[in-house]
Amino acid sequence: MPSLPAGSWVPSVTPQDILYRGDSCTSQPLPVLPTQLSHFFVDHPEDAFGSLGKLLHQNFYLGDSKLRVSVHSGLPPCSGCPRKNLVPRLRWFSHLARDWLFEVPLGLLADCVHEDLLLQWASLLFDDSPTGGALAWLPPKDVGARTGRLVYPGGQAMNHLCILPHGVALRRGGGGREGVPYFVGVRSDYHCGVWRVPGRTGAAPTPLQVIRTSVPASCLTVSPHLPGELAVCTQSGAVYLWSVETGLQRLRHDPQTMFFRDHSPWRWSDFTAHPRVLSCADRTGLQCLDTRVSPGGCHFDLFKVGEEAGCQQGERVVLPMYLGRAYPSQHLVTTQFSVYVLDERLPLVPVLKWAHMMKAPPLFAHLTPGGPGRSHKVLLGASRTQELLLLQYRGEKRGALGPPCWGSQSACQLVGTPQKLHSVSSCLQHLPAQLPHRHRLLQQRLSAPAAGGCPAPPGGLGVLGRGQDVSWKVLVPEEAECPQEPSANPQPSPAAALRYRRWLKAFSKVCGQPPRHTRPPTFGQKRLFTRKELEEPSAPSALQGQARRWLRQAMRDGGCLQRWDPPPSALPEPPEPAEDPDPLSARLTASWCGDWDGWWEGRMSSSLAQRQRALRERRRRQKRARGRRSLSASFTSSLTYQSELSELSDPDTAPPPRREASPPLGTSPPAAATPPSPEEALLSSQSLRSRGIPKERRKTLRDYLAVWADGPPEPPELPGSQASQLCIPSSQSQLSSASQPRRKRPRMGF
Amino acid sequence: CKKGKWPLSSPVLRREKFFIFVFSGSCLAFVYGMVCLYVCMQIFSTVGSQKSKEVCLSYIQDAMLRKQWKRAAEFLTFYIESLEKDFSTEYMGPSEVIWRIGAEILCHRFHNNMKEFSSFIEQMKTLGVKRYLKVSVCLEHAFHLLCNGQIDEAYQNLSLAESWRFGEQTAIQDKEMKLIQAYRGLLDYYSWSKQKNILLEHDLSVEQEMHGCFRKAAMNLKEIIKIPGVWDLFVKCYVDLLEFYGDYSEAREVLNEYAYNSKFPANPNAHVYLYQFLKRHGESKKSLLSALKILHDIVPSHELMIDFHIMLQKSKKRKKRRLGLEVIFAVLDYAGWKENVKAWSCLARQVKQIKHLDWIKQEWDPRRDWWPAFHFSRYSAKRNWQENESLSYEKALVAGILLGKGCKAQVKRFRILKKFLNKHNPVYLRLSGLSDSSVQP
């Protein structure tokens, strides 16, 4: 039975996100436009008509009755374009990144993006992060207690550990593992923690220890033998034995895979029949490591992908598991094709092999040991396809410790046929009929990849979806005598149907609210700067103090605060009568007087003359520039020297090549001597820098301003490269050198 | 069905969607057959034939895993029909698939109706005369017959398969042929042992026939044993045959070869068989111990280690008794032996004999940090006391001596145990005295 947590669900990346550019619907062959538009009007009415309605609704007269606007309409607000919410996010990103994005070399950026896409694609095809499953069942320790506990990650980003008491009627008492408290290992990418959950149901769990890894950890398993011992693997190929009391002990560090080369950094480790021997796995096989000897000392191969086990081409280990609760020396190894049972005592030759034929590789497995003389049940679960497969197997008699392996007593074999269990998404058809959009949401939610599963007594089975729904199934044992075939889709019991409905109610309540992730994300400054950078200067400067004093004075007097720095100017001057009215008013005046035709004629002729004048002017300018360029080339040899000197004297330590790109305009002595005109001040490098405009943009800005400031009769080509050309005759050496960066050659011995 | 890739390619994704779409439509039972027919017609006509076959197979798989045998059978007939229309050259794959699926469905749907099954097999044999079916189908059919007690038919089947000469001969086929011969030898051994029982009831008329069986079985079994592999069953039968006729040297050679040939996988059973053989023939203690020593090196947790320990303790040599202590400590390291009374009593006896306390100390030191939590936790003490009192006594004794005062807290609750422990307390005092003295110099 799914239970809803408070958080809403973050949809995961889909293949379409990577394969198709932009909206997925545009990549499909387009139908005729009218059909498409009509679909759009029907499917997205608020996008089509909403804005117009909003504009006009104040002007509608709807009688004298009160206008009621229902805030919560039946349709969820997210039914518009699915990419809509990405736009503000992108804008925020560009706002954040505009300062530095230009400095990243494009090739490098492209490489990074490509690499990330590859990673995302690989994780779409096969995501090994949920290996091992994220749902555990802790059976009750007290004989009288009837509630065990479910442990699973919750929250929006699966960042909470939920321990949920779950009541079941207990048929078999006892059970469980050694040691009164349970130890629960919790793994995230860079942190592993261990919790101690007391055996009594009421007691609160306590965190014991947390370790941080510099490389993502791929495995954390809890020892079935000794309390407080865990095995940790990282993606760099390190295997540790982690004891809460004594800390970490590194058993191996090998970035290479064990038997042949494989690119996957995934590693796994589990315990074996000997509490001091750990099994260690990568995609190519399993080895057993003895922790009592020095690292790399004593080990033996337990399983190797290859001929001994009859493996196929391309077969890789997906999940190893120690089956100690059924037989002390057996291990389960699943690959994407088969399931193997191995015995430590006869390594390399599987005791049992079975092709599971699942569509996705099984990522979590769970063992329920049967009692003496009964078969053991193994639950295999795939993540993406939500497949669940129940196997039963039987090997040698438990506790008899007969001759090892198989052969003499009874061979390890599957009992009965494996059974496929209904996936979580298959309960969709048992839910009452829904509105189409809600049906789609439901479908999305229920078909989220499974993150874990575990059987729990009696005959129950929990499955955790990525959407943090824990669904609960009850397995009804089938009678062997019953010849009647179970129907294709057995109807749920009335109780289950009721629960479905209750869950649906909770789900629709959550869906009614706008999904959280559609809100534009906010960026806190605190995240961008360190605390130190944000700290205000401890003592206020003299100016601030003065300003405060003035402010206080003004408040006391009840007068108005005036500017203190320059002397207060007089009243603003009235706007001067415009000598030349702007074209619009001239035109209006003309048409008002009925002389519009004349105005038009004059305008045409004047504009023609203007254009001709402008063209002539430009040609002349170009000619002049050409002449100067040839001149400047002859100057450079003598000029570079001085420019380099000034560079050296410049206390700002910027790398020389970049200095070439942006000349230190403001630092030149003549420029400093005469106060720059407003435009020059605007365009000077320092002022640009102080405004946070990146170097690459400064030139663009100058060019732009040059065009914009074309009108005034002052030297129009002041900014940019042309400005520097103008300046050359007046021997402003730095400017000229900066305008000719290519001429600069490195000089030996300088 | 096995055509997966790593990592999974995207066509799988697409197939799933299709799958779900089709399945949600076919809920009602009475329109069921029609829907199946419709679906199959649809998929066979619209989608490419390869694709449709894949989809069909996935339906069959789904039906079988949900134990809907009738539905699976219907889909299988569609699958076969689609194959008949398809004139592609790829013939071997589908025939294996049909064989496997068909056999599984028949076994469950008709509850092992042998007649149905035999007719299916005959059809299969005519369907695919290519190399796969010739060998494997026969072997699997023979297993099926054996499971249903039809040993003579199985034997006939195997002989038929052996005489079959069709298609090209490959290396794999050669191996499979060896396997068929070996299983035939096994059946010969079976009839031989039956006749042996008759013979032992003083009916000498079967002797001739029995000898014939022996020769056939020995010849076939001998062949397979030469190939490196795990052949426990065949080796045991072959040795039994040889022993009956008194050919001990040959039997010993076979067992030695099986145990010590480095080409064979390290198989603890080989050493067990050798040890049992040596023991049966009253071999010297030295050879028995050497066989067990190797077994100890391979599998320290083997059940024969108790025997090994007892034998070593009886020895007069210091070195061997030292090894005996090592063996019993190593056995108790393993989770499977945690609650074995015999092992604990062996260790308790060792610890009680206060002869070599330094040995005990040497064994105990590397285990000092984890044995208390592994064996002597409060929880396990409580459970042992509830489930098996004698085990509790033995463990308490060992714990009392090895842990000293730390142990007393663990058994505080059980008054009887406490009394029992106090009786043996002097041993602990000596052990602790020894450890003190070892620190002092």
Q: What is the pLDDT of residue A196?
A: 84
Q: Is B335 within 8 Å of A126 when comparing Cβ atoms?
A: no
Chain B residues whose CB is inside 8 A of the A429 CB are 24, 27
Q: Is B298 within 8 Å of A345 when comparing Cβ atoms?
A: yes
Q: What is the pLDDT of residue A354?
A: 87
3-state DSSP assignment of residue A630 = helix
Q: What is the pLDDT of residue A683?
A: 56
In the block, residue with structure tokens 């009804």: A476
Mutate which: A271, A331, A357, A389, vs B, most B CBs within 10 A:
A357
Determine which helix (DSSP H) or strand (DSSP E) holds A380, and give its type and residue range.
strand A376-382
In the block, residue with structure tokens 């400067």: A541
Q: What is the pLDDT of residue B9?
A: 33
**Helix, strand, coil distribution of chain A in percent, nearest 5:** 35, 20, 45
Q: What is the pLDDT of residue A69?
A: 52
Q: Is B8 within 8 Å of A349 when comparing Cβ atoms?
A: no
Whether the pLDDT of residue A637 is over 60: the answer is no
Closest by CA position to A603, among listed A590, A594, A615, A614: A590
Q: Whole-model pTM above 0.90? A: no
**One-letter amino acid identity for A668?**
S
In the block, residue with structure tokens 């104040």: A58
Q: Which of B5, B108, B265 sits opposite A314 (nearest CB)?
A: B5
Which residues is A463 bridged to in the sheet?
A453, A471
Whether the pLDDT of residue A557 is over 60: the answer is yes
Q: How far is CA A738 from CA A625, B246, B378, in A?
A: 16, 106, 83
Q: How far is CA A345 from CA A410, A748, B127, B248, B306, in A?
A: 16, 73, 43, 29, 17
Helices H, strands E: what count in chain B?
24, 0
Q: What is the pLDDT of residue A349?
A: 85
Angle between helix B268-280 and helix B285-298 axes, rounded to 10 deg: 160
- Rounded average pLDDT over A408-417: 72
Instruction: Say what the ipTM of the complex is.
Output: 0.78
Q: How far apart are CA B364 and CA B371, in angstroms?
A: 9
Ranges of beta strands (E only) in B10-141 are none
Contact A90, A521 (CB under 8 A): no
Categorize the per-residue pLDDT at A85 as very low, low, confident or very high, splitting at 50, 70 and 90: low
Taking the CA of residue A169 and the nearest CA in chain B, the distance in Å comes to: 23
Chain B residues whose CB is inside 8 A of the A359 CB are 8, 12, 16, 58
Q: How far apart are CA B149 and CA B146, in angstroms?
A: 5
Q: What is the pLDDT of residue A320?
A: 92
Q: What is the pLDDT of residue A183?
A: 85
Contact B192, B143 (CB under 8 A): no
Selected residue with higher pLDDT from A607 and A396: A607
Q: Which of B24, B108, B379 sits opposite A429 (nearest CB)?
A: B24
Cis bond leading into B7, ω under 30°?
yes
Comparing A247-256, A590-599, B366-375, which segment has the lowest mean pLDDT?
A590-599
Q: Is B65 within 8 Å of A485 when comparing Cβ atoms?
A: no
Q: How far apart are CA A194 and CA A204, in angstroms?
A: 14
Q: Which of A225, A246, A401 sits opposite B374 (nearest CB)?
A: A225
User: Which parts of A694-732 fold into alpha helices (H)?
Assistant: 695-708, 720-727
Selected residue with higher pLDDT from A407 and B277: B277
The first and second tokens of residue B208, run together, are 């001739």
Whether the pLDDT of residue A509 is over 60: the answer is yes
Whether the pLDDT of residue A246 is over 80: the answer is yes
Q: Which of A312, A405, A420 sits opposite B268 (nearest CB)?
A: A405
Q: What is the pLDDT of residue A340?
A: 92
What DSSP letter does each residue of A99-147 carry, written as one string?
TTGGGS-HHHHHHHHHHHHHHHHHHHH---TTTT-S-EEE---SSS--E
Closest by CA position to A473, among listed A414, A419, A393, A432: A419
Q: Is A357 within 8 Å of B1 when comparing Cβ atoms?
A: yes
C-alpha torsion angle, residues A583, A585, A586, A591 (rounded to 10) = 120
Phi, psi of A109, rounded to the nearest 5 degrees: -60, -45
Q: How far apart are CA A440 and CA A75, in angstroms?
A: 13
Mutate which: A17, A120, A417, A446, vs B, most B CBs within 10 A:
A417
Whether the pLDDT of residue A296 is over 80: the answer is no
Mutate which: A19, A182, A345, A349, vs B, most B CBs within 10 A:
A345
Planar angle of CA B359, B361, B367, nearest 5 degrees: 115
Contact B71, A488 (CB under 8 A): yes
3-state DSSP assignment of residue A273 = coil
Chain B residues whose CB is inside 8 A of the A407 CB are 230, 232-233, 236, 269
Cβ-based neighbours of A345, under 8 Å, separated by 6 or more: A329, A404, A405, B268, B298, B299, B301, B302
What count of CB pairs under 8 Å joins A to B? 152
- Rounded average pLDDT over A272-280: 90
- Rounded average pLDDT over A618-631: 65
Q: How far is CA A432 from CA A442, A493, A505, B29, B61, in A?
A: 11, 14, 11, 20, 29
Q: Is A275 within 8 Å of B2 when comparing Cβ atoms?
A: no
3-state DSSP assignment of residue A321 = strand
> Which of the 8 DSSP states describes residue A52?
H
Give per-10-residue mean pLDDT for chain B (441 aa). Answer: 36 32 33 46 53 81 83 83 61 66 77 73 64 64 79 81 64 75 87 83 76 84 84 87 86 89 86 90 87 89 89 86 89 88 88 78 86 83 82 83 60 54 51 37 29
Q: How large a percentage of chain B has pLDDT more than 70? A: 71
What is the 3-class SS of A62-104, one letter each residue?
Answer: CCCCCCCCCCCCCCCHHHCCCCCCHHHHHHHHHHHHCCCHHHC
Q: Is B233 within 8 Å of A308 when comparing Cβ atoms?
A: no
Closest by CA position to A458, among listed A174, A173, A170, A143: A170
| Residue A374 neighbours by CB distance under 10 Å | 12
Categorize the per-residue pLDDT at A202 as very low, low, confident or very high, splitting at 50, 70 and 90: low
Q: What is the pLDDT of residue A472?
A: 61
Size (chain B), residues: 441
pLDDT in tens, B42-55: 544 544 566 777 78
Which residues is A465 bridged to in the sheet?
A450
Q: What is the pLDDT of residue A364?
A: 86
Q: How far apart are CA B361 and CA B434, in angstroms?
A: 9
Closest by CA position to B360, among listed B326, B330, B397: B326
Chain A residues whose CB is inside 8 A of the B6 CB are 126, 314-316, 336
Q: Is A488 within 8 Å of B32 when comparing Cβ atoms?
A: yes
Q: What is the pLDDT of residue A615?
A: 85
The first and second tokens of residue A552, run together, are 């206080």
Whether the pLDDT of residue A530 is over 50: the answer is yes
Chain A residues whose CB is inside 8 A of the B378 CB are 180
Closest by CA position to B182, among listed B142, B145, B149, B128: B142
- Rounded average pLDDT over A591-605: 80
Q: How far is CA B138 from CA B115, B133, B144, B221, B227, in A?
A: 16, 7, 10, 19, 22
Comparing A59-73, A733-747, B53-67, B252-266, which segment has the lowest mean pLDDT?
A733-747
The first and second tokens of residue A536, run together, are 């205000």
Q: How far apart are CA B107 and CA B112, in angstroms?
A: 5
Q: Is A408 within 8 Å of B269 when comparing Cβ atoms?
A: yes
List the single residue in A with minimal CA-CA distance to B24.
Answer: A429
pLDDT in tens, A322-353: 988 888 888 999 998 889 998 888 888 888 88
> Which of the 8 DSSP states describes residue A480?
S
Chain B residues whose CB is inside 8 A of the A179 CB are 373, 377, 379
Closest by CA position to B270, among listed A353, A376, A116, A403: A403
Chain center to CA of A714: 53
pLDDT in tens, A690-702: 666 666 666 666 7
Q: How far is CA A209 from CA A129, A186, A206, A242, A275, in A?
A: 22, 10, 10, 10, 21
Categorize the per-residue pLDDT at A314 as very low, low, confident or very high, splitting at 50, 70 and 90: confident
Contact A221, A172 (CB under 8 A): no
Q: How far apart are CA A563 and CA B190, in angstroms?
A: 115
Angle between helix B171-200 and helix B207-226 axes, rounded to 10 deg: 150
Phi, psi of A445, rounded to the nearest 5 degrees: -65, -45
